[in-house]
Amino acid sequence: MTLGDHANLIEIEHEGRRHVIAGGPWRAQHDAERRNARLKKAEAELIRLSAVERKTPNAQKIASQVGRTLQRHCAHKYFHYEVNPTGKLLWSRKEEVIEAEQKTDGWYLLQTSLSKEKATSEQVLKHYKNLLEVEEAFCQLKSYMEVRPIFHYRPDRVRNHVRICFLAYWITARLRQEWKQCGYNGQPVDLLRQLQGIKVGYISVKGKTLRCLMTDVPENLNAILTQIKALALFTKPPAWTNK
């Protein structure tokens, strides 16, 4: 994971605690895109809710529904809203909150209990990045690699299930490292999901194989596969498929 941090870190002490301020263009873009996505989804829901025709509008219930909707989209802090006695939903953006948040885009604060002798500012930032990678690993294990839920009951099968999932993660981490050396900074999981649609099949008549067919590689993947030196694997089926 690349944060694109500024070369110069800012270190401060506050109330006897050591803090390191870091950030950068990548993080600023990420923060802005995340906020804009939340605003867009929340506004679409507010427009939908305000257009609903209700026979017996209840202002309290409508306001409660709006509040839950904004909370679900993590956008409650960005909007003023009220429901008038006739049940009409009125809302507007909190422009001052959005502008204040824009000023801090790209920056984040790290707090550490380590002294300067034990860890420099750069080492504190490195520890933070390593923590993010660990959290990402557990996220992938629980979602894409489906460590949970476990549908086994015998202890040996549960252990083997977890072993296979961690082996899959190790392969993913190894691919990320090797592909990064080729200049590709994307996530292997995302690319592998796209590659799942590529299949090898056979046309057989009366038990005799007449032809081997392979799904066409989407054009947008050719550049990536060339970059990671894997395009040759898709130009023709590998030899083991004919066995």
Residue 222 located in a structural domain: yes
Residue 227 located in a structural domain: yes
Instruction: Decide which of 156, 176, 192 is a domain's last residue.
Output: 192
Which DSSP state fits 21? E
Contact 27, 106 (CB under 8 A): yes
- Domain co-membership, 188 together with 212: no
Instruction: Decide which of 158, 176, 192 is a domain's last residue.
Output: 192
pTM: 0.52
pLDDT tens across 91-122, in order? 999 999 999 999 988 888 888 888 888 888 88
Average pLDDT of the chain? 80
Instruction: Decide which of 86, 102, 118 is a domain's last residue.
Output: 102
Residue 83 located in a structural domain: yes
Q: Residue 73: give the domain boundaries.
A: 27-102
CA distance 197 to 145: 18
- CA distances to 56, 116, 196, 210 from 200, rounded to whole Å, are 59, 57, 11, 14
Residue 9 located in a structural domain: no
- Domain co-membership, 31 together with 91: yes
Residue 21 located in a structural domain: no
Which DSSP state fits 58? -
- Domain co-membership, 167 together with 211: no
- Which pair of structure tokens corresponds to residue 215? 């799904």
What mean pLDDT is predicted for residues 10-24? 84
Q: Beta-carbon neighbour count of residue 124 at 10 Å?
A: 21
- Which pair of structure tokens corresponds to residue 18? 């050591």
- Domain co-membership, 211 together with 185: no
**Number of domains composing the chain:** 3
